[in-house]
Structure 1
C-alpha cells in the first residue's frame, strides 16, 4: 500500500530540485537587478556575492517551512492520502507555472504561486470531502482552510506592493536631496552618514532579525542579540559610518560600491531565507507526513495529519543541499539572466526602447500625477523649489560610452533599492510572513525610479503601462495557480497512480519543450546581427558605423525579398508569415535608430555636426527600403492567406528573373562593404539602369497580358504592386549608395572599413 506514496516522495524530490532551478531562474532578478543595472562591480563579483548570500540565507530559512505545513490549510482536517494529493498537485503546478514565465522572460512571484496553489489544491480536496459527506455543507469549508492566516498572508502580499513603492520613493527622494546626482563631489561626511544608515539597516534586519531562525547559532548569542536591539543599532551606525569615512578619506574608496555589494549579499540572504519555503517546503512537509504515517500502522485514508501542526526544525543538511542547488542554478541558468531585463529597463534613467505600449489607464494615471505634482509645487516657496531642482540636476556626462555599456541608473539609486528591499523582506521573514520578494524588489525599484525622475514626460506613460502590465501578470499568476492546482488535485484524487504518472510525463515533456524553445531562441539571438546605434562623434566614425548597418539591411533585405517571391511561387503561407516577422523586426530596429537621433546629435563633436546630416539621410533611405520590403511582404502574405488564385507560371518566372537581378545587385553591394572597396559601389550604381529596364519590361508585358488574357483582378493588382514597389526599393537603395559614395572621405584607409567581415563568413540562406 505504501508503494504509491514512496513513488510520490521520489517524484516530489525530483520536483523539488527542478522547482529550485526554475524558481531561482525567475527570482534571481530580485537580488541581481540593482547591482547589474548600476554596473557597480563586475558581473563575476556580483555572482560570487549573491551565491554566498543565497547559501547563508538557505541556512536561516527553517522557520518559514511552517507556512507550507499549516499556513494555508488546517492539516488536522485532512487524512494522509489527501495531504499527499494536495502536495503533489502543488508541486506539479508550481514547476509548470514558473517555467512558463521563465520561458517568456517575465518575473513572477514564487510566493504568490505557492500560496495560491496550496489554497487551490486544499480547497478542491476539501470540497470533494464535503460533497461526499451528507453531514457537511459548503459552509464547513472554513474548517479546512486556515482563513485567518491565509487572509493575513494574501493581504500582506498585496499591501507590500503599496508599501514597497511608497517607502522606496520616499527614501530615494530624501537620499537624492542629501547627495544629489553629484554624490562623489559631496562632503565625505554625507556619504558616511548614508553608508552608516544603509549598512546598519541591512545588517540589523538580515543578521539580527533573521538570525533567530539559524540552526547554527547558540541560544545565548540569540538571546543577547534579541535583548539589546537599540544598543546594537546605535553602535552599528557609529562603527559603519566611521569606517566608511576612513575608507573614503584615506583609501579613496567608493563607499557606494561597498553598499551595493553588501546590499546584494543581504538581499540574496533575504531571498533565500524567505523564498526557500516556496521550493522545498512542500516536499519536506510531505516527507514528514510520510514518516509519521509509516510508523503509525493506520490506513492512509484514516491517518489524520495532526502532526503537521507541530513546529519541527528542518534538518540542516536538507537546507544545505537546497542552497547548493540554488547557487549552481544562479551560475549556470541562462533563463536567470533573461528575466532581469524587464525590471532594469522600466527603472532605467536614460531613454530605452520601451517594451510596453501606453493604455488609457497609464495615460490617466500620468495626467493625475502631473496635476497633483503641480498643485503640491504651487504650495512650496520658490527658494525651496530651486534648492530641490538643484539637487535633482543631472550632471553632463563627459565620458562617451556605448549604449550597452552605460549603467541603467547610478550607485545611489542602486544602494537605496537594495537597502529598502532587503529591510522590508527581512521584516516579513522575521514575522514569518511569506512576503513576495518579487513584488517588493520590483515595486521598490519602480518607486525609486519615480522619485529619481526617471519617468519623465518622454517615458512616463510607457513605464506606468509596463508596471500595470507586470502587476496584471501577478494577478494572473494568483488566479492561474489557484485554478491549475485545483484541477491537478481533482485529477490526482480520482486518477490515483495512473493520473500521477500521466501528469509527471506531461510535465517533463513541457519542461523539455520549453528548454529547447528557449535554447533555440538564445542561439538565434547570438547569431543574429541586429542594427547598431551610432556611437561615434565624428563624420568618419559615423560613415564606418553606417557601413555596417547598410550591409546588414542589404543582406537581410535580399533574404526578405526572395522569401516573399518564393512564398508566392509555392503558395507557402508558413514561409510568408515568417518572412513578415523578419521585415517587422527590421522595421522596428530602424525605427529604434531614428528614435536615437536626438542623443546622437547631442554628443557630436562641434566640427563634425555635418555627420548628423549624413546619418539622418542614411536612416531615411534605410527606412524607405524597409517600407518597400514591408509592402511586398504584406501584400504577398495577404494574397496567399486569403486563398486567392496562384500567380501564373509566366508571372512567377518573371518575378524570379527580377529576384535574380536584385540578388546580384545586393550581393555586389554587400561585397563592396565587406571588402572596403568603394570603387565597387560605382559598379553597382552603374547597374541601376539595367534593373530598371528589366522592371519596365515586366510591367509592359503584364499590361499586354491584362488587355488580352488576364482574368484575375487580384493577380494583376498584386503583380503590378510588387513590380512598382520593387522600383521604389531599387531607387531607395541606389540613392543610399550615392549618398554614401559621395560622403565617404578618401583619407579613411580602406582597411579600416572592413566592417562586415563577419557577414562574409556566413552562409547565404
Structure 2
C-alpha cells in the first residue's frame, strides 16, 4: 500500500515543477508589467533583476505552508488516505487550470485557484464523511472563514486598487505632467524618497515577513520602530534621489527597477505556498504515516498537519531555480504580460478585445458624469488641467506602452496596498492589486479615449470575469476529481494522471498552433513602429494581403458549409457556420479599425493615391462577410423550424452553382496570396457568367411560383440564397479589383 502512496508523492513533486513553471507564467505579469510597459531597461535587464528578486524571495522564505496544511480543512478529522486524495485532486486541477488560462494569455490568481481547489476537494470528502458519521458536521471538517475572507478580499481589492490607482496617478500627472523632465527639478527628490521608502517598507512588511532570518524578536522590533524606520529611510532616499538627479540619472527608472525587484521578491516569498505547499503537505503526511501509521491508511488521522512545518532549504533553493528558469524561458508569461500592457497602453492601436453591452453602458454613464463636471468647472480651471494632460508632450521610450511616471506609480502603489492589506491581515491577491492599479492609472492618464474606452473596459471585465471563473472552475473540477479518486481507487488515479498529462500536452500543441497563426500580426507590429512612408506602404500591402486572404478563406469555407448543410438539413453545420460568421464580423471590425490607424503611417500623397482603394477593399470584404451572414440566417431558421426542404430540381441547380462559386473564391484567394493579378480578367469573366447563371435561376424560380402551387417558404429561402450568392460573387470580384489597384505600383486599367 505504501508503494502507491510513494508514487503519488513523487507525482505531486513532478506536478509541483509544472505548477511552478505555470504559476510563474501567470504571475510574471505582476512584477514585469510596469517595467516592460515603460521600457525602463532592456527586457533582459528587467528579467535579470526580477530573477534575482524571485530567487532571494524563494530562498529566504521559511516555507510556512499553513494554508495547504490546515488552512481549509481540519486535518485532525481526516485520515491519511483522504488527505492524499484531496491533495492529488488539488494538484491535478491546479496545473491544468492555470495552464489553460496562460494559454489564453489571461492573468488569474494562483491564490484563489489553490484556496478554491482545496475547498472543492475538501467539500467532496466532507460530504462523504458527514453522510457516514453521526457526530461530524461540515463545520467540523471545513475552515469556511478562510474561504470567505478570500472571496471578500477579491471584491475589496479590485475596487480599492482601481480607485487609488486612478487617484494617485491623476495627482502625479498634475504634478509632473507628461513632459515630466521639465517639472521635476524640485519635486523628483521628494517623489523618489516617498517611492523608495514605500518599496522598502513593502519589502519588510510583505516580502520578508516570513523569511528565515525574520525571528519573532526582529518582527517585534520592526513593529515597535516602524515610524522611526520609515522616517530614516525617507530622509536617506530623498537625499540619495536628489544626488542621483544631479548626476543626470533618471530617478524614475531607479524607482521602477526597485519596485520590480520588490514585487518579484514578495511574489516568490509569499506565493510559494501556491505552488509547492500541497506537495510538501503530502510529503509531510507521508512521512508521518510511514513512521506512525502502521500501514492503516484509512484509519490514521493526520493530526500532525495542525503544527507548522519548516521547509528544508534545498526545496526552497530548487523552487527558486525553477521559477527563475520559467521566468526567462516561458513564452506564455510573455503572452500574459502582453494582455496587461495592451490594456494599459497610452496610444491607440490594435484592440485585443471587442465591445460588450456592459462596457458600452459604463462608457455612456462615465461620459455623462464627465460632461456634468465639465459644465460646473470654470473655463480657466479646465484649461489649466488640460495643460497638465497634453499627451502630445509625453516622453515615452520607443516602442513603450506608457511612460516612467505611470510605471513608478503602478509599482509603488501596488506595493503599498499589498503591504497595507498584509498588515490588516487581509489576504489580498498580488494579481488583483497590480492589474487593477495598472488599469486605474491608465484611465487617469486619459489612455482610454472615446475610440478605445469600450474595448479597454471589455478587456478589464474579461480579466475580472476570468478571476471569478477561476474560483468556480477550481471548486467544481476539484470536487468531482476528488470524488472520482475516492471511489475509483488506484485505477482512477492512473486514469486521471494520464488525462492530466494528455491535457497538458494538448494545451502545448494548441498554444503553438495559436502562436503560429498569430505570426501574421508581426507585419502589423512592424507597420505600427515604422516612420518611413515607403516602408509603411509595403508593410501595409503585405498586411492587407494577409487579412483579405483570411476573409476569402472564411468565405470559401463558410459559403460551402452553409449551402451543403442546408441542402442536407444539417442543423449543427448551419449553427457552426453562423457562429463562425459572428466571429468573422468582429474580426472585420477590428481589421477596419487597425487599418485606419495604420494609414496614419503613410504620407499625404500616398494616402490620396492608394487610400481609397484600401478602404474600398475593406468595405467589399465586410459586405462579403455580411452576404454570407444573410445567406446563413434564413437557412438556419428554415431548418431549425423543420420546414419543407428544397425539391430535387432546386437542389441540383444550386449545387452546381455552389461548386462554381467556391472555385471562383478559391482562385481569387490564391491570386491574392501570391500577389498575382495578370490574368484577373479570366476570373472577372467567370464571375460575370456566374451572375448570369444565378439570374437565370431566379427567373426560373419565379416562373415555378406562378405556374405551380408549392411552399412559399421554400421559394422565399431559395430566392434569398440565389440573391446572396450573386452578392458573394460580386463582392469577391470587386475586392480583387480594388486589391489589384492598391497592390500595384502603378494603376492597372
Global fold match (TM > 0.5):
yes
TM-score by length of 2: 0.82
Q: Give the drift of 1:173.
A: 1.7
The structure 1 residue matched to 2:306, chosen from 294, 309, 334, is 309
Post-superposition CA distance 1:346-385 (Å, at most 9, x none): 3333445656666665556556555665666677666554
Q: Is the 8 A contact 2:179 2:393 kept in 1?
A: no
Say if 1:680 and 1:357 are closer, same or farther in 2 by CA, change over 3 A: closer
Q: Where do residues 163-562 of structure 1 align in structure 2 (5 Å cutoff)?
A: 163-206=160-203, 209-215=206-212, 229-230=226-227, 232-238=229-235, 240-245=237-242, 247-251=244-248, 253-296=249-292, 298=294, 299-301=296-298, 303-351=300-348, 362=359, 365-366=362-363, 369=366, 383-395=380-392, 406-426=399-419, 434-526=427-519, 545-546=540-541, 549=544, 552-553=547-548, 556-557=551-552, 560-561=555-556
Give how far 1:417 is off: 1.6
Partners of 2:535 and 2:279 lie apart in 1 by 63
Superposition deviation, residue 395 in structure 1? 1.3
Query: Is the 2:421–2:428 contact (alpha carbons within 8 Å) kept by the matching residues of 1?
Result: yes
- Which deviations, in whole Å up to 9, do the C-alpha atoms of 1:517-538 show, x marking residues without a partner? 3333333334799989986896
- Per-residue CA distance 1:280-314 (angstroms, 9 max, x = gap): 11211221222233223554455443433333321
Deviations 1:90-119 (A, max 9, x none): 223323432343344432211112122323
Aligned to 1:50: 50
Shift of 1:421: 2.0
Once residues 398 and 613 of structure 1 are traced to their aligned partners in structure 2, the CA distance between those partners, rounded to angstroms, is 34
Q: Does the CA contact (< 8 Å) of 2:157 and 2:433 recur in 1?
A: yes
TM-score relative to the length of structure 1: 0.81
Give 1:16 shift: 1.9
Report the Cα offset of residue 257 of structure 1: 3.7
User: Distance between the aligned counterparts of 2:273 and 2:396, measured in 1?
Assistant: 46
Task: Give the drift of 1:278.
Answer: 0.8
Q: How has the CA–CA distance of structure 1 residues 323 and 572 changed in structure 2, closer, same or farther, with 3 Å as cutoff?
A: farther
Shift of residue 480 of structure 1?
Answer: 3.6
List alignment gaps of at least 5 residues for structure 2. Answer: none
Check the 8 A contact 1:28/1:330 in 2, yes or no. Answer: yes
For residues 201 and 173 of structure 2, the distance between their equivalents in structure 1, rounded to whole angstroms, comes to: 23
Alpha-carbon separation, structure 2, partners of 1:664 and 1:301: 68
In 2, the alpha carbon distance for the partners of 1:555 and 1:127 equals 52
| Residue of structure 1 in register with 2:623 after alignment | 624
**d(CA) in 2 for partners of 1:465, 1:399:** 26
How far apart, CA to CA, are the structure 1 residues paired with 2:494 and 2:265? 36
Following TM superposition, by how much is the alpha carbon of 1:211 offset from its aligned partner in structure 2, in angstroms? 3.2
| Cα distance change, pair 28–714 in 1 and its aligned pair in 2 (3 A) | farther
1:486: how far off? 3.8
1:82 CA drift (Å): 3.6
Q: Give the corresponding residue for 1:25.
A: 25
**Change beyond 3 A, Cα 1:376–1:158:** same
Shift of 1:58: 1.6
In the alignment, is the contact (CA less than 8 A) between 2:526 and 2:539 conserved in 1? no
Contact 1:260 1:415 in 2 (8 A): yes
Q: Quote the residue 2:3 is aligned against.
A: 3
* CA positional deviation for 1:691: 4.7
Give the direction of change, closer, same or farther, for the CA distance of 1:295–1:642 in structure 2 (3 Å limit): same
Q: Counterparts of 1:631-642 in structure 2 under 5 Å?
A: 631-632=630-631
- Which residue in 2 is equivalent to 1:97? 97
CA distance in 1, matches of 2:608, 2:394: 22
**Cα separation, partners in 2 of 1:532 and 1:137, compared to 1, 3 Å:** closer
Q: Select between 441-450 and 424-433 the one with higher mean Cα deviation.
A: 424-433
